[in-house]
């Protein structure tokens, strides 16, 4: 009996704490037409203290959406355009010699912000990518012999164009794994694009007002942890993850030759975390299987390695996830 009372209390708390989500979404929608999926995934990344990798062709408002988010939350925003000649110091900062003082002073780089847009992350070489990833993982930056803790909340949104473009340095699998979500963005629908076209030609964009404080976001990040997850749901998440590693144990032997490696424990942690965030955005104090299914593609599409055989047959990690999710019993 205690459990039900508990759930009710959690539900009421989450209702209260998540009230700002609608406000924030409305504010973002002043500028962003459609792209509901992208906006939701950014909020999941923000609430789950994770980072988001967006993949899509140029011109789909990837830069605009994170800029708008940082205006709607009273946070600082910086944008780093990744290019082949970028250096790690251009991202994290460097020591500068000050002749007057006859001493070195530290100049902080653009990574010191609440919202960091790493634009076209796959255009910069590996050492720059890894400088960014240390900051993402450890939430700190070392310049010279000093270590600085980054401000909270800290959300990196990296964008990359789909693979076939020249002059790119693809992110190694181990590095892509640092991103909580990898979201693939599609073109807007025709009626949405009509609205986008009109607004752009008129130049009438509504001003985005700060509607949420950084403190509210930090409180929400803590509240997400209280979202109730039943043991059955935990088991469901683990079944999905383990099916990526040992498909033959889940009557999915045909997937065995297609998967070169399955999702790591980061996959299960992030899937559980993202499902909780999704429930929070839906203003619910408990996780249901639909929450897991809603985020499973974004959490796992970059965590499953596909073999040459799968590539030869044009099978993507998306299709593998679909097969797994359709096969595994829903609690």
Parts of the chain with a pLDDT under 50: 1-2
pTM: 0.86
Residue 84 resides in a domain: yes
3-state SS class at 198: helix
Per-residue pLDDT, 177: 82
Q: What's the CATH code of the domain at 82?
A: 3.40.50.300
Per-residue pLDDT, 271: 93
Per-residue pLDDT, 2: 43
Tell me the Ramachandran region of residue 99: left when phi exceeds 0, alpha when psi lies from -120 to 50, beta otherwise. Answer: alpha
CB neighbour list of residue 187: distance below 8 Å, 6 or more residues apart: 57, 60, 193
Per-residue pLDDT, 165: 62
Answer yes or no: do 179 and 286 share one domain. no
How many independent structural domains does the chain possess? 2
Q: What's the CATH code of the domain at 251?
A: 1.10.8.80
Residue 131 resides in a domain: yes
Answer yes or no: do 309 and 169 share one domain. no
Do 232 and 331 touch, CB atoms closer than 8 A? Answer: yes
Answer yes or no: do 181 and 237 share one domain. no
Answer yes or no: do 54 and 183 share one domain. yes
Residue 244 resides in a domain: yes
Residue 213 resides in a domain: no
Residue 116 resides in a domain: yes
Domain endpoint, select from 169, 187, 205: 187
Each residue's pLDDT tens digit, 172-205? 776 788 899 998 888 878 888 888 888 778 776 7
Answer yes or no: do 238 and 180 share one domain. no
Residue 175 resides in a domain: yes
Q: Can you give the residue range of the structural domain that contains 250?
A: 227-327
Partnered with residue 77 across adjacent β-strands are 115
Do 255 and 324 touch, CB atoms closer than 8 A? Answer: yes
Per-residue pLDDT, 295: 92
Per-residue pLDDT, 26: 84
Per-residue pLDDT, 329: 82
Per-residue pLDDT, 273: 93
DSSP state string for 45-85: HHHTT--EEEE--TTSSHHHHHHHHHHHBT--EEEEE--TT
Choose among 132, 124, 127, 139: nearest CA to 169: 124
Each residue's pLDDT tens digit, 44-85? 998 898 899 988 877 777 778 888 888 888 888 888 888 888
């Amino acid at each position: 009996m205690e459990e039900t009372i508990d759930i009710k209390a959690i539900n009421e708390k989450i209702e209260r704490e998540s009230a700002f989500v609608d406000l924030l979404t409305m504010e973002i929608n002043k500028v962003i037409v459609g792209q509901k999926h992208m906006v939701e995934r950014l909020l999941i990344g923000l609430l789950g203290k994770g980072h988001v990798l967006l993949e899509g062709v140029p011109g789909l408002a990837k830069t605009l959406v994170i800029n708008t988010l940082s205006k709607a939350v009273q946070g600082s925003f910086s944008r780093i355009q990744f290019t082949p000649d970028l250096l790690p110091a251009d991202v994290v900062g460097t020591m500068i010699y000050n002749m007057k003082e006859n001493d070195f002073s530290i100049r902080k780089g653009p990574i010191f912000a609440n919202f960091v847009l790493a634009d076209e992350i796959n255009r910069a070489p590996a050492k720059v990518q890894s400088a960014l990833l240390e900051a993402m993982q450890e939430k700190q930056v070392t310049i010279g012999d000093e270590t600085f803790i980054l401000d909270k909340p800290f959300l990196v949104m990296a964008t990359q164009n789909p693979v076939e473009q020249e002059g790119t340095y693809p992110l190694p699998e181990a590095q892509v794994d640092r991103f909580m979500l990898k979201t693939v963005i599609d073109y807007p629908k025709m009626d949405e694009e009509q609205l986008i076209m009109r607004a752009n030609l008129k130049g009438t964009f509504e001003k985005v007002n700060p509607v949420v404080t950084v403190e509210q976001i930090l409180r929400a990040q803590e509240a997400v942890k209280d979202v109730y997850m039943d043991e059955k749901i935990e088991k469901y998440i683990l079944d999905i993850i383990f099916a990526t590693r040992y498909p033959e144990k889940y009557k999915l032997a045909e997937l065995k030759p297609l998967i070169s490696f399955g999702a790591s424990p980061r996959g299960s942690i992030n899937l559980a975390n993202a499902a909780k965030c999704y429930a929070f955005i839906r203003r619910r104090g408990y996780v249901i299987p639909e929450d897991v299914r809603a985020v499973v593609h974004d959490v796992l599409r970059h965590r499953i390695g596909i073999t040459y055989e799968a590539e030869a047959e044009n099978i993507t990690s998306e299709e593998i996830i679909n097969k797994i999710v359709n096969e595994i019993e829903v609690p």
